[in-house]
Chain A
């Protein structure tokens, strides 16, 4: 019973940690955009492009459109098309040759007003093995990482499951529609040394000790019955040691000096 409680406690700790991970990120962005003042709540759209070629030379095509909502929600929504017949065949061919399936997004800021500030230059790219994408039946998780000011700094794609086992996949059924989970992750604020709770805890303990009159007794008064035999025992054993003729020798003597 106790064991289970412990487990649940740890799990809850871990889950809060992971929750914090995502939450604080959102808070963070929310605050930032709040700072920026009026933001366009309707959001804006950014193309998500992909490339899978048998010869492994990237030729990016449009996969879908990322609807990025600036402002407080900081949500992201991906609308994407089905894979065409031709694409499905290519993807299976690439998977068979152990090629790469690449995706990219342009470098943009999630802050809508900053969009105009600086035109996006370059792309952020990443990849996943094509076979993993095929075998997971096009279920992938795409994460966009932003920095503190809301610029997208990186994109990552993983498939679930992520392994390539060489399972046969029927292209009509399984390779038509992407089953994508997409999220935006902002940096977590790292914790600073927690002095306040520590002092509070110390004070509480002091109070607790103060209330209990039994604890007021001095250390010796409380534990004399343990200390006296211990000291006696040590003295006895020490006397024996000396009569034993420097059996303790070496370092003990050196340290004592």
Chain B
């Protein structure tokens, strides 16, 4: 019964907060896009002619099947992150796809139509080297897996191990490749670098070693990168130092050394510094490979060669050619070669592999994206047409991880932006006004500077208005002539404008590969993309909105700080967030490592906020650095403070700006690294508004919040990881004075710690190592019953320490990320958005994380709407804002206010991207979807007429009475 009462109390309190999506609202405000990552292996299903399947394995440990006609996912399997789920190899035969996972830990077979697991085998330990399908008498029956010191053969239909054999001399020989030509033998090739090659022959039936030989090869360092098997078991290797090819029949007993063929004799030469690459093809694993192969001599020079009777003959020279690939359909093998056509386009042509002759009418024109990267992988899907000629489609992967699927004569069938699988940071920017709106806004925004300029400005803006109107008329006229169906309602940059409630915004996404995206938040359409070349893989990005769209006619301006993690050297990329164009503004050179950035509320004459960059000598660079800005900085220098964190020394230090843009150290806090290390420091979000200064308590008195905009939350973790002694520390420091406002220690806890710092509270999640569970803790800071200085907050003048209340709760699930909702004016109650590893995003009312939740229910706590304390935090399915649209590996959640106070825009990103709206206090400022306009208006009209009639009747009655 008591439980019931508590439950009832909780559910009563939830009446205000419960929010779920109705069935008919699915997909109305939200969208999800699923990604797979950078493709490592791609195989087309050539099993049947009509098959649309494309199997992909990626560096994000994703194994997926795509519809090759649309680019949509058929199915996707997301494995563990890190080396444990790393996909080492992907082989396909018929309906089965065999995958080796986790450095040779698991061997799995998938049914490719529905993506079901057929079998899984745990392999012996040992680092993975190679895997190959093994066939006997034209029929593929086995899969062989080569580890560092053992080889095992598995049955393809059941996964059962046929045999496993230790490799001879595996501590000195590096075994790297498996070869099987369908003749009942499995050959394992190993190399002793700069000495010799070892070839071991195993019998397929029982794994017996049939033959073992070693061949001199003093020049060879790696088999994998320089060799290939062609024709009927001929090992072919290339060496750039001696500029020659080497051949060796693998199974011949008489030839005991490699035969050298100088490239010169073939009139070929390897470009110095380039490592030549051999590409051969084995269409059927049960048969030996073809005798034709590609040799790449420089980044844009390929040559098709043929090995025949111990001789190598060139079939066709492709110079220039970026990429070349073989494809087989039925019995016919073709080679597709991509050659540059002009600066912006490449042409792909098909050649028959055995002769090198070009197939007629097989050109595909591939237009390179000027804002994208160069193509770096080519996957070809060949098929036989009705007239028995070979048709083909290609998939091109570019440096910026875009997958483009093309068919003849160059039509892009679909395109996927796989860079979005790794979003690093994002921002949301308001869309610009339409020309008309903007002109009117701009008129009022401008500073008054004399009568004549004002008149001119007015005239010019009127002229622009007229222009816009005429353009609009022309468009109407133009569209009217076209049939209705051809007028597309697509989202393009030109028609983008702010909607009434500012619900549609531009999402700027920065990805780890260095590609920037501008995405329409309403539909998820990519409006622009820009690939930044020469981004180091270990770069960190910081995206700063310097000027919003509010300052027409100045275009909005965003700055991306790209910093090399190792050297700390940074560079700035300035662009227009709406159109994605690079700005012409000159960017300051940053010769020294950047430690900290600071966006000031100070604006220059062009309404761009000033960005301060602090380098490792504590010198400050301002951007933009016009005279006006420098003057303003000089005036306000004494009130500009910033902090630096050096987690390796546990040092937090505060600096003040001097008039000459140098800095002075003003405070220092040092947390000894022997005991604990700083893991994260977070301030508050700059665009956060707090509507109420205090909380009204049960007795009608007010408890004022401690709203320090300069407060920093520092999270530390103990260096001692023993479960009894480990702790998580939370230190609240004023960023201006360095005053430690509060210092707490969560005992028997360890990270990873996720936390949110907002308003007057900090919420953090940690792992309780004693009870082995996740726990939430909330800290709230109050000034007390009186405000010290209610007009303005100054860190320099706030002598009394705040009162700190704290409470902790058990959270029955692990957590990936944590963020708080944000609304325009901060009136709406707050929710916490919790990204769970299951892919769900939980919208948890802050009401539950309130340190004033009472132990015992009293009159006052009821008055205050406080929920009685319960140690466990509930998780309700209807709180999942993304119902069944789970976000794989959610890494971050971004929240942005909209023009509606009730509505907060949410973007969750990880492997997938999910965008939605949340209404923490329900849609109090919006009429419901099913609002009955007809009823209301008919009642209104009815009442109106009723009053009219009754008025008339009353008049008549009065007149009659008067006559009486």
Q: What 20 new A-B contacts, CB under 8 Å, besides A185-B740, A190-B744? A: A10-B701, A10-B860, A14-B803, A126-B667, A127-B666, A132-B796, A145-B740, A147-B672, A147-B743, A153-B671, A153-B740, A154-B733, A163-B789, A187-B729, A188-B745, A188-B804, A189-B745, A198-B869, A251-B928, A254-B22
Q: Given that A124-B670, A147-B729, A215-B1 are known contacts, is A190 also in contact with B738, CB under 8 Å in the complex?
A: no
Q: Given that A126-B667, A191-B808, A255-B23 are known contacts, is A162 also in contact with B740, CB under 8 Å in the complex?
A: no
- Residue of chain A at shortest CB distance from B788: A162
B930 at the interface (CB under 8 A from A): yes
Interface stretch of the complex, out of A71-79, A87-95, A200-208, A230-238 = A200-208
- Can you give 16 contacting A-B residue pairs, CB < 8 Å? A17-B804, A126-B737, A147-B672, A154-B733, A154-B739, A156-B737, A187-B745, A189-B745, A192-B775, A193-B872, A202-B3, A202-B6, A215-B1, A250-B24, A254-B23, A257-B23
B870 at the interface (CB under 8 A from A): yes
Pick from B730, B733, B745, B930: contact of A148, CB under 8 Å: B745
Q: Which residues of B contact A149 (CB under 8 A)?
A: 672, 675
Cβ-defined contact, B676 with A188, below 8 A: no
Cβ-defined contact, A124 with B669, below 8 A: yes
Pick from B6, B733, B803, B810: contact of A193, CB under 8 Å: B810
Cβ-defined contact, A251 with B930, below 8 A: yes
B921 at the interface (CB under 8 A from A): no
Q: Given that A156-B737, A257-B23 are known contacts, is A195 also in contact with B871, CB under 8 Å in the complex?
A: yes
Q: Which residues of B contact A11 (CB under 8 A)?
A: 785
A129 at the interface (CB under 8 A from B): yes
Interface centre among B703, B799, B935 (most CB of A within 10 A): B799
Cβ-defined contact, B796 with A190, below 8 A: no
7 residue pairs, one from A and one from B, having the closest CB atoms? A250-B930, A156-B739, A205-B2, A6-B699, A154-B669, A158-B799, A162-B797
Q: Given that A107-B670, A123-B668, A188-B743 are known contacts, is A247 also in contact with B930, CB under 8 Å in the complex?
A: no
B747 at the interface (CB under 8 A from A): yes
Cβ-defined contact, B1 with A190, below 8 A: no
Cβ-defined contact, A98 with B638, below 8 A: yes
Q: Mark B108-146, 1 if CB is under 8 A from A, else 0.
A: 000000000000000000000000000000000000000
Cβ-defined contact, B701 with A163, below 8 A: no
Cβ-defined contact, A254 with B24, below 8 A: yes
B768 at the interface (CB under 8 A from A): yes
Q: Which residues of B contact A185 (CB under 8 A)?
A: 740, 743
Q: Which residues of B contact A2 (CB under 8 A)?
A: 699
Cβ-defined contact, A209 with B1, below 8 A: yes
Cβ-defined contact, B871 with A193, below 8 A: yes
Q: Which of A240-257 contact B (CB under 8 A)?
A: 247, 249-252, 254-255, 257
Taking Cβ atoms with an 8 Å cutoff, the residues of A that contact B are 2-3, 6-7, 10-11, 14, 17-18, 21, 56, 98, 100, 102, 107, 122-129, 132, 141, 143, 145, 147-149, 151, 153-154, 156, 158-164, 185-195, 197-198, 201-202, 205-206, 209, 215, 247, 249-252, 254-255, 257
B807 at the interface (CB under 8 A from A): yes
Would you give the shortest CB distance from B675 to chain A, in whole angstroms? Answer: 5
Q: Which of B1-31 contact A (CB under 8 A)?
A: 1-3, 5-6, 22-24
- Residue of chain A at shortest CB distance from B746: A190
Q: Given that A147-B729, A153-B669 are known contacts, is A202 also in contact with B2, CB under 8 Å in the complex?
A: yes
Cβ-defined contact, B667 with A125, below 8 A: yes
Cβ-defined contact, A192 with B698, below 8 A: no
Q: Which of B864-881 contact A (CB under 8 A)?
A: 869-872
Would you give the shortest CB distance from A48 to chain B, in whole angstroms? Answer: 15
Cβ-defined contact, A201 with B740, below 8 A: no
Per the bound structure, the CA–CA distance linking A147 and B746 in Å amounts to 12
B361 at the interface (CB under 8 A from A): no
Per the bound structure, the CA–CA distance linking A125 and B652 in Å amounts to 11
Q: Given that A10-B697, A147-B671, A147-B676 are known contacts, is A162 also in contact with B796, CB under 8 Å in the complex?
A: yes
Q: Which residues of A contact B872 (CB under 8 A)?
A: 193
B254 at the interface (CB under 8 A from A): no
Per the bound structure, the CA–CA distance linking A20 and B547 in Å amounts to 47
Per the bound structure, the CA–CA distance linking A10 and B797 in Å amounts to 26
Q: Which of B744-767 contact A (CB under 8 A)?
A: 744-748
Would you give the shortest CB distance from A143 to chain B, in whole angstroms? Answer: 8
Cβ-defined contact, B670 with A122, below 8 A: yes
Per the bound structure, the CA–CA distance linking A197 and B1 in Å amounts to 18
Q: Which residues of A contact B669 (CB under 8 A)?
A: 124, 153-154
Q: Which residues of A contact B729 (CB under 8 A)?
A: 147-148, 187
Per the bound structure, the CA–CA distance linking A252 and B23 in Å amounts to 10
Q: Which residues of B contact A127 (CB under 8 A)?
A: 666-667, 737
B564 at the interface (CB under 8 A from A): no
Cβ-defined contact, A3 with B699, below 8 A: yes
Per the bound structure, the CA–CA distance linking A198 and B808 in Å amounts to 13
- Residue of chain B at shortest CB distance from A124: B668
Q: Which residues of A contact B784 (CB under 8 A)?
A: 14
Pick from A21, A145, A190, A194: contact of B730, CB under 8 Å: A190
Cβ-defined contact, A151 with B804, below 8 A: no
Per the bound structure, the CA–CA distance linking A6 and B872 in Å amounts to 28
- Residue of chain B at shortest CB distance from A9: B860
Cβ-defined contact, B738 with A126, below 8 A: yes
Q: Given that A187-B744, A189-B747, A190-B745 are known contacts, is A156 also in contact with B738, CB under 8 Å in the complex?
A: yes
Per the bound structure, the CA–CA distance linking A128 and B739 in Å amounts to 10
Per the bound structure, the CA–CA distance linking A251 and B804 in Å amounts to 44
Q: Given that A7-B699, A147-B729, A191-B806 are known contacts, is A251 also in contact with B22, CB under 8 Å in the complex?
A: yes
Would you give the shortest CB distance from B394 to chain A, in whole angstroms? Answer: 45
Per the bound structure, the CA–CA distance linking A14 and B701 in Å amounts to 14
Q: Which residues of B contact A189 (CB under 8 A)?
A: 744-747
Per the bound structure, the CA–CA distance linking A161 and B703 in Å amounts to 22
Q: Which of B656-713 contact A (CB under 8 A)?
A: 664-672, 675-676, 697-701, 703
Q: Given that A126-B738, A251-B930 are known contacts, is A190 also in contact with B777, CB under 8 Å in the complex?
A: yes
B951 at the interface (CB under 8 A from A): no
- Residue of chain A at shortest CB distance from B734: A156
Q: Which residues of A contact B856 (CB under 8 A)?
A: 201
